[in-house]
Structure 1
Amino acid sequence: MKYEVIIYWSDEDQAFIAEVPELPGCAADGETYQEAVQNVEIIMQQWIETAQEIGRSVPQPKGRLRIKDMSLVELLNPKENEHILDLGCGDGKRTTKIAIKEKAARVVGIDHSESFSDEWDKARRAYGDLEFHGDLEFHVMDAASLNFNEEFDAVFSNHVIHHIKTPKEVISSVWNALKPGGRFVAEFYGHGTAEEIILALQQVMSSENYSFDINEDFPWYLPTQEEYCNLLTSQRFTVIVNKIFPKKLDLEYGVDIRSWLEQIPFNTEMFNHINKEAIFKNVQKKVSDQLFRNDKWFVNYQHIRIVARKSSQLSNNN
């Protein structure tokens, strides 16, 4: 069979795990690498035979998929009747799409802002009109202090984690929200994002006799791969995927580096005694040779994607 098989060692399970991403729920383990491969081949055959018997379509093998070419929902690989938490759901459109397309038993979206309440009401009504049996919920909640205890098969987060500067608390909250065996799938900005702009900002602030520390004064949390992986393993997660890849984002016509900086939620007190507009103008001048091409400004981002699993043998009481 030509389906992609992902094999990794799990310290928590003390076994090799083999998963088939294109066949939802198809996985096996083994004491050795070879045993895991042999076992998953049997499970794959059984999966296909069962699907054919009950009239369910069998996905055609796509061959090897590169992590960066998959959508984050594909990486999540949600399954029917799962309970899924969307961490930082925004307007709730993606949350609702997962609930409808994947027919999950329960999909919960949380966000720290109440500003999306009208959009959430629209999503609930649209979902209710479809007469699905699953539950769709939205709550205003802090990602670092979730009020869930082993309720979800998966926690999903798309470009939110870099906005939260308490990563240990977020990871701990995610762990508590997951059932044993549950998975955490996320994408966020990492170390090296907007590097040219941040360096120029430090230089311009220094020239004005003001200090600027990225960890203290820049509002985003931008970890390295290794740093975030260590935080996950410290919480006893098994890290399955940990990838970083660059993306160049062209800014919209009329948007320059100054206006990009204006959108960043800096601590306003930092600019109380200096001319912020002049600072941003000088930053743009410094990076123009690097970030202006063909009459367009762009920003370089580093995207981190992670998939981590909570051991099926561990609960919040262990």
Structure 2
Amino acid sequence: MNNISTSNNWDTSLYEDKHAFVWRYGEDLLQLLNPQPGESILDIGCGTGQLTEKIAQSGAEVMGVDQASTMIEKARQNYPHIRFDIADAGNFQVDKPLDVVFSNAVLHWVKEADSAIASIHQSLKPGGRFVAEFGGKGNVKAIATALERALEAINISAQALNPWYFPSIGEYATLLEHQGFDVIYSTLFARPTPLAEGEAGMANWIQMFASAFLAGLSGEQQIQVIRVVEEYLKPTLYQQGTWIADYRRIRIVAIKL
């Protein structure tokens, strides 16, 4: 699931190589998931399948879905013994109700949160659990502010371009409760995240995860905007040759009533 929903053209090698933190940081989320042998689990927004494979190692029956066809193709190559399908986190259905729906670093791409929650609720058995981590309130606030200022400098309003949904715990828990979930665990925490590739780290991150802000700009304008963003952020987010993304993550565990 991603911000380039029309073309779904994620660069999977760039994702696996330069942005492996997306799934590596998700590994301790699996402790919260605590998958059990024989449980039926859906991994929404599975990317190239690394966490799906770790869930499968528990003996659970796991399936991964992602909106990006390139991600699914790569996941199938990586782990041919696991079922992977193309599906939209904001609107999906399953063949039979599941024990668990799991999601890492995906739901902040789904602005129609109610629709996603309805799909998740419908997919679970009564008593089934929903375990997720994604960007929470204040996530990449410094980066987003820098992008907005850089775009305003060339007379472009960034607000309509913003592809993200970063809710507070109260906001998201309320949405879950309205649709028949019992929220049993929630936390919001800062997780400063070092980016790979040294000085190129921020430019790479913007091109991978914030490309919606650059839509419609010429190549020269994109370079200019990224340069302005780097200058704005360098005093706070560039430390000893490494860029740090100002991540804040929300974690939720909810049970279908």
TM superposition score normalised by structure 1? 0.66
- Provide the C-alpha distance between the structure 2 equivalents of 1:258 and 1:220, rounded to a whole number of angstroms: 18
Larger radius of gyration: 1
SS at match of 1:271: coil
SS at match of 1:222: coil
**Residues 291 and 81 of structure 1: CA distance in aligned 2, closer, same or farther (over 3 Å):** same
Partner of 2:43: 86
Partner of 1:184: 130
Determine if contact 1:149/1:178 at 8 Å carries over to the other structure.
Answer: no
Instruction: After the TM superposition, list the runs of 4 or more consecutive aligned residues in structure 1 that deviate by more than 6 angstroms.
Output: none
- Provide the C-alpha distance between the structure 1 equivalents of 2:66 and 2:28, rounded to a whole number of angstroms: 21
Partner of 2:54: 97
The correspondence for 2:204, drawn from 248, 252, 259, is 259
- Which consecutive unaligned segments of at least 5 residues does structure 2 have? 1-24
Please give the residue correspondences for 1:8-157 in structure 2 after superposition, counting only pairs within 5 Å: 71-99=28-56, 101-104=57-60, 106-115=61-70, 116-124=72-80, 127=81, 136-148=82-94, 151-157=97-103
Partner of 1:249: 193
Q: Compute the displacement of 1:276 (Å).
A: 2.0
SS at match of 1:210: coil
Partner of 1:46: none
**Residues 192 and 270 of structure 1: CA distance in aligned 2, closer, same or farther (over 3 Å):** farther
Q: Percent identity?
A: 33
Q: Compute the displacement of 1:228 (Å).
A: 1.2
The correspondence for 1:220, drawn from 164, 177, 183, is 164
**Residues 278 and 267 of structure 1: CA distance in aligned 2, closer, same or farther (over 3 Å):** closer
Partner of 1:39: none
Q: Compute the displacement of 1:270 (Å).
A: 4.2
Q: CA RMSD in A?
A: 2.4
Determine if contact 2:44/2:101 at 8 Å carries over to the other structure.
Answer: yes
- Provide the C-alpha distance between the structure 2 equivalents of 1:268 and 1:204, rounded to a whole number of angstroms: 11
**Residues 114 and 212 of structure 1: CA distance in aligned 2, closer, same or farther (over 3 Å):** closer
- Provide the C-alpha distance between the structure 2 equivalents of 1:197 and 1:87, rounded to a whole number of angstroms: 26
- Provide the C-alpha distance between the structure 2 equivalents of 1:144 and 1:208, rounded to a whole number of angstroms: 33
Q: Compute the displacement of 1:274 (Å).
A: 8.1
- Of 300-309 and 76-85, deviating more is 76-85
- Provide the C-alpha distance between the structure 2 equivalents of 1:121 and 1:201, rounded to a whole number of angstroms: 36
Partner of 1:57: none
- Which consecutive unaligned segments of at least 5 residues does structure 1 have? 1-67, 128-135, 312-318
The correspondence for 2:253, drawn from 294, 297, 307, is 307
Q: Compute the displacement of 1:210 (Å).
A: 2.2
- Provide the C-alpha distance between the structure 1 equivalents of 2:26 and 2:93, rounded to a whole number of angstroms: 34
Q: Compute the displacement of 1:137 (Å).
A: 2.1
- Provide the C-alpha distance between the structure 1 equivalents of 2:48 and 2:201, rounded to a whole number of angstroms: 26
- Of 194-203 and 248-257, deviating more is 248-257
Q: Compute the displacement of 1:269 (Å).
A: 4.1
Q: Compute the displacement of 1:225 (Å).
A: 1.7
Partner of 1:235: 179
Q: Compute the displacement of 1:174 (Å).
A: 0.4
For these two proteins, the number of residue pairs brought into alignment is: 230
TM superposition score normalised by structure 2? 0.81
Determine if contact 1:219/1:265 at 8 Å carries over to the other structure.
Answer: no
The correspondence for 1:298, drawn from 219, 235, 244, is 244
